[in-house]
Structure 1
Amino acid sequence: MATRHEITKKFAREYARANRAEKGAMLDALVETTGWTRDHARRAIRVAAARKGAARDVQRRPRPKKYSYDALIVLQEVWRLSGQPSGKYLAAVMDDTLERLVRFGELGKVAPRVRPEVLDELRSMSAATIDRYLKPHKDAAYPSALSGTKPSHILRSSIPTRTSMDEPITVPGFLELDTVAHCGHTLKGEFLRTLTATDPLTGWTMLRSIRNNAFLHVHGALEWITAQAPVPVAGVDFDNGSEFINWGVIAWCDDHDIPVTRARPYQHNDNAHVEQRNGDWVRKHAFRYRYETEAELALLNDLWALVMARKNHLLPCVKATGWTTTKAGRKKRIYDPPRTPYQRLLDAGVLDEKIRSRLETEHAALNPAKVTRAINKIQNQLIDLAAARTRGTRPAA
C-alpha cells in the first residue's frame, strides 16, 4: 500500500500538468501497475494531489473563451425573451427563436451587437455551454410550497392504480391531472387553485385556475380542458386528492366515456409529468403567493393563456424512451431529442384539419418577446396584489 501511495503521488504531480491524452496514458499505466479500476485510479490521483507536497501549487492556464463578449450579451437577451429555458431546451430551438426575434425586430436592445457572425456563434453553442455562460443570470432559488392534497378514501378501492413502472402511454390524449394551491404560507381559509392537465406522450399542457376545489369549479375546469384539448381525451390519471376522487368527478368521467386511473399515495413519480409542470409552469410563473379574489383569478387565467402559448409552441421538452448502462454499471435514463409539444402533436398525425390549421396559424403569429412582456406585466400585477394583501394584514406597530 505504501508503494501504491508513492506511485500515485508521483503521478499526481505530472497529472496536474498533463493534457487529456497524457492523462489517459498515465491512468492506463497506473491501472496496469496496481490492478485498480480506472475510476479508482483517477480518484487515488485526486486524493494524492490534495495531500500536502503534491501538485497543489500547480495551476493550469485558464482555457480561453471560445465565444465573444457580444455573443454572451445577445445570448442573455435571447434567453430572457424566450422565457429563461435551460440550455438543453434553448439550444434545441435556437434557430427558430433567433429567426422570430430578428423577424419581429425584438433584439433592438442589443442591436449594435447583433451581427451575422454573432448569430452564427449562438447557433453553434451547445446546451452545456449555454448553461455555463448563463449561470450567473439564473435564479433557481424557489422555497418549498405547502401541499393541499387530502387523501380521500371514497371510491379509492374501486379505481385502478397506474404506476411509474407500467407500460408507457402510446396514444395522445391521455391526461395526468393535478391541482396547485395558491395558499401562500398557510392552508387556512379559501384560496385559488390551478388545475394542470398534461399529456405525457406529447407534453401538451393546459392550465386553468378555479375558485376552490368544490365540484362546481372542478367540473367547469374539466369541461374547459376537454373543449381546449387538441385531441379527444382518452383517459385521465390523478392523485388521491378529494377534489378528484369523489362521486361527481367519477360520474362526469363516466358520462364522457373517459377511463380513470389514480396514482399510489405518496408516490409522486407515478404522475411525474404533471408534477414537473406544477413546478416549471405554475410555480415558476405565478410564484408562491396567496391569491383569493376574482381579479386575481382573471389575471391567473390570462397568464396561463400566455404560458401555454410559449411552452406548448416555442419551448421544447424531452421524453424518456428507455434505459442504458454506464461504464460503471449504473442505470441511466435515455431521452429523445428535445421537441416542442406542438411538434410532437404534428408528428403524431392525429390532428384533424380544422384544429391543425388553427394551431398552425397560432404558431406562426407568436412573437417570443411580446409573449414575455405580456407575462411580465401580469406577474407584476400579481406581485402588487400580493404585496397589498401583506400590508393589509400586517399588525399595527
Structure 2
Amino acid sequence: MQSTKQYLEELQKEYLVATKLQKGLLLNEAEKRTGRNRKYLIIRLSAKTNWHKARKKTVRSSQYGSDLVFPLVKLWDIFDHPCGQRLKPLIKTELIKLCHWDEIDISGQQTEQLIQMSAKTIDTLLAHEKEVRHLKQHYSQTKNPLLYQKIPTKLSHEWDRELLGQIQIDGVEHCGQTTAGDYAHTISHTDISSHWWEGQAVMGKGKVRTLGAIKQAQARFPFNWIEIHPDNGTSFINYFIYDYANLTGLEFSRSRAYRKNDNCFVEQKNSQNVRKVFGHVRYDTQREVDILNSLYQNELRLYKNFFQPVMRLETKIRDKGRIYRKYQEAQTPYHWLMVSKETPARVKHQLERIYQNLNPAELKRSIDNKLKLLTKVYQSKHLPSKQKQLLENTVSVRFSNYPIGRFGLG
C-alpha cells in the first residue's frame, strides 16, 4: 500500500503538466501497475489531492454516559452474569419491576436508555467490570499468596540432569469417577538424574499426611536429597513442607500453575508406575491403602528401579521449526546410579549387593499376586454384606520379606 501511494505521488507531478493525450497514456500505465479503477486514479492524481495531509478520524460521541454503568452492573449481578444477548431481553421485561421494588434507583431517562441499549453496547460497558472481577477471582483463589512468592518456579530445561538429589514430587488421586469423600492418594517422587522413583500412599491429601509420605519416601532413596520440586497444589505448597525444607536444608522450587511440563519427569512416572499398574479405579479404604504401600515399599519399587530401563535425553536441537531429540541407550535407574560420579562408593556397593540377590521373575509374580489381592478387596466393596464378610475373612495383607534399611534396600 505504501509503495502504491509513493508511485501515485510521483506520477501526480507528471500528470498535472501533461497534455490530454499524455494523461490518457499515464492513466493506462497506472491501471496496469496498481490494478486500481480508472476513475479512482483520476481523482487521486488531480490537483486537489494532498498526499501529506493526515486523514481526519471521525470520533463518534458516546450515546451512553458512565452513569449507566453502575445500574447495568447491578442488573448483571441480579441475573447471574449473563452475556449481553441474554441480558438485553431481561432488561426490557424486568427493569420496570425492579425500579418499582426499589432494587434499582435510576431516572426515567436512564430507564429508557437501558431498555434501548443493544447487546453489543451492554458487553462493551460491562467489559471493564468483567476484567476486574476475573483478576480478583484469579488471585483470591491462591491460598498463602506470600508463601507462593517465597518459592521460585523452575522450568524443565533449567535442571542440571547430572546432579543427584533433585526430586520432583506429584500426587496421583485414586478417586475413580468422583472426588467426593476421602480416598487414597499416591505421592510420587522422582530423581531428575537417575530417574529413581519412590511412591507412598496416604488416605486423603492432608498436609500432615502428605509430609509424612514425603519423609517415608525420602528415607528409602539411596542418596541424599538436595531439592524438592512439587506442583502448585496446596497439598505441597504449605508451611508444613516449607518449614521442613528449611529445617533440613532442602531447596524448594515449584511448577508454574497449569504447566505440567514443568514437572515432566514425575508426570511420566505417574503414568508408567502408578496409573498403568493400579488403573483409574477408586481406592477409599485403609485396607487398600495398606496393599498399595506394601507394593510401594517392597516389590514394585525394586522391580521398577532395578529392572525397568528408562531413556535419558542426550541432545535436543531445534532446526527450521522442528525439534530433533537424541536419547542415550535405555538403562535402569540402578545402572544410572552405578555410572554416576555423584553416587558414593559405599552406596554403589550396597546397591550391587542387593541387585545380585533380586530375582525379577519372583518380583513380578509377587506384584501380580498383590494386585489380584487388591482387586478382590476393591470388588468386595460392591458385594452383598454376607459375601463381603466371607471375603474379608479370607483376605489379608502380607508384606514382603524384603527388609527396609536406611535406604529401603536391605
> What corresponds to 1:265 in structure 2?
257
Q: Quick one: distance in 1 between partners of 2:290 and 2:382?
A: 20
The one-character-per-residue Cα deviations of 1:135-190 (angstroms, maximum 9, x if unpaired) are xxxxxxxxxxxxxxxx7532212210001232543310110000111111110000
8 Å Cα contact 2:163-2:342 kept in structure 1: no
Q: 1:317 to 1:233 in 2, by over 3 A?
A: same
Query: Closer, same or farther in 2 for the Cα pair 1:351/1:167, shift >3 Å?
Result: closer
Is the 8 Å Cα contact of residues 231 and 350 (structure 1) preserved in structure 2?
A: no
- Partner of 2:362 in structure 1? 370
The answer as to whether partners of 1:202 and 1:345 remain within 8 angstroms in 2 is yes
Structure 1 residues 189, 320: CA separation in 2 closer, same or farther (over 3 Å shift)?
A: same
The one-letter code sitting in structure 2 at the alignment partner of 1:220 is G
1:308 equivalent in structure 2: 301
Question: Larger relative contact order (C-alpha < 8 A, sep ≥ 6)?
Answer: 1
Q: Does 1:285 align with 2:263?
A: no
Q: What is the CA distance between 1:286 and its match in structure 2?
A: 1.4
Given candidates 179, 184, 199, the residue that maps to 1:192 is 184
Post-superposition offset of 1:379: 0.8
The yes-or-no answer on 1:323 pairing with 2:313 is no
Alignment counterpart, residue 221 of structure 2, candidates 220, 224, 229: 229
Alpha-carbon distance in 2 for matches of 1:353, 1:165: 29
Paired amino acid for 1:375: I
Q: Please tell me whether Structure 1 or Structure 2 has the larger radius of gyration of its CA atoms.
A: 2
Correspondence for 2:206 among 214, 222, 231: 214
- CA positional deviation for 1:219: 1.9
Q: Distance in 2 between matches of 1:329 and 1:288?
A: 37
Letter in 2 for 1:248: F
Deviation (angstroms), 1:294: 2.0
Letter of the aligned partner of 1:175 in structure 2? I
The change in CA–CA distance for 1:376 and 1:152 in structure 2 (over 3 A counts) is: farther
Return the letter of the residue paired with 2:367: I
Deviations 1:176-231 (A, max 9, x none): 00011111111000011111100111110111111221122112112212211111
- CA deviation vs aligned residue, 1:273-292 (integer Å, no higher than 9, x gap): 10011110011111211112
Counterpart CA distance in 1 for 2:361 and 2:243 is: 43
Structure 2 residue matching 1:332: 3-state secondary structure: strand
Alignment match of 2:143 (pick from 135, 153, 161) = 153
Task: For 2:222, give the aligned amino acid.
Answer: P
Q: CA deviation at 1:236?
A: 0.6
Amino acid at match of 1:172: L
Q: Tell me which amino acid in the other structure corresponds to 1:213.
A: K
**Distance verdict in 2 for CA 1:392–1:279, change over 3 Å:** farther
How far 1:325 sits from its partner (Å)?
5.8
The answer to whether the 8 Å contact 2:182/2:284 transfers is yes
Residues 156 and 262 of structure 2 are in contact (CA less than 8 Å); yes or no, is this contact kept in structure 1?
yes
Q: Please give the per-residue CA displacement for 1:52-82, whole angstroms capped at 9, x wherever unaligned.
A: xxxxxxxxxxxxxxxxxxxxxxxxxxxxxxx
- Are residues 178 and 167 of structure 1, via their aligned partners in 2, closer, same or farther at CA, if it must alter by over 3 Å? closer
Are the counterparts in 2 of residues 194 and 207 from structure 1 also a CA contact under 8 Å? yes
Cα distance in 2, alignment partners of residues 153 and 338 from structure 1: 41
Q: Tell me, yes or no, if the aligned pair for 2:208 and 2:240 is still in contact at 8 Å.
A: no
Structure 1 residue aligned with 2:130: none
Name the aligned partner's letter for residue 283 of structure 1: R
In structure 2, distance between residues paired with 1:392 and 1:271: 43
Secondary structure of 2:381's match?
helix
After TM superposition, the runs of 4+ consecutive aligned structure 1 residues lying more than 6 A away are: none
Q: Distance in 2 between matches of 1:248 and 1:325?
A: 41
Name the CA distance, whole Å, in 1 between partners of 2:311 and 2:347.
24
Q: Percent identity of the aligned residues?
A: 28
The offset of 1:351, in angstroms, is 3.1
Alpha-carbon distance in 2 for matches of 1:212, 1:380? 24
Structure 1 equivalent of residue 237 of structure 2: 245
Aligned residue pair count: 242
Change (3 A) 1:391 1:261: same
Q: Distance in 1 between matches of 2:361 and 2:142?
A: 43
Q: Is the contact between residue 255 and residue 262 of structure 2 (CA under 8 Å) also seen in structure 1?
A: yes
1:204 corresponding residue in structure 2: 196
CA contact (8 A) 2:227 2:250 kept: yes
CA distance in 1, matches of 2:384, 2:258: 37
Q: Which runs of 5+ in 2 are unaligned?
A: 1-140, 386-410
Q: Deviations over 1:307-349 (max 9, x none)?
A: 21111111210111222367x8622112111111101111113
Instruction: Confirm whether residue 384 of structure 1 aligns to residue 376 of structure 2.
Output: yes
Partner Cα separation in structure 2 for residue 329 and residue 233 of structure 1: 37
CA contact (8 A) 1:317 1:341 kept: yes
In the alignment, which of 322, 341, 350 is matched to residue 349 of structure 1? 341
CA displacement, residues 67-104 of structure 1 (integer Å, 9 cap, x when unaligned): xxxxxxxxxxxxxxxxxxxxxxxxxxxxxxxxxxxxxx
Q: TM-score with structure 2 length normalisation? A: 0.56
> CA shift at 1:238, angstroms?
0.9
**Structure 2 counterpart of 1:308, one-letter code:** R
> After the TM superposition, which residues 76-115 of structure 1 pair with which residues of structure 2 at under 5 Å, given as runs?
none
Does the CA contact (< 8 Å) of 2:245 and 2:252 recur in 1?
A: yes
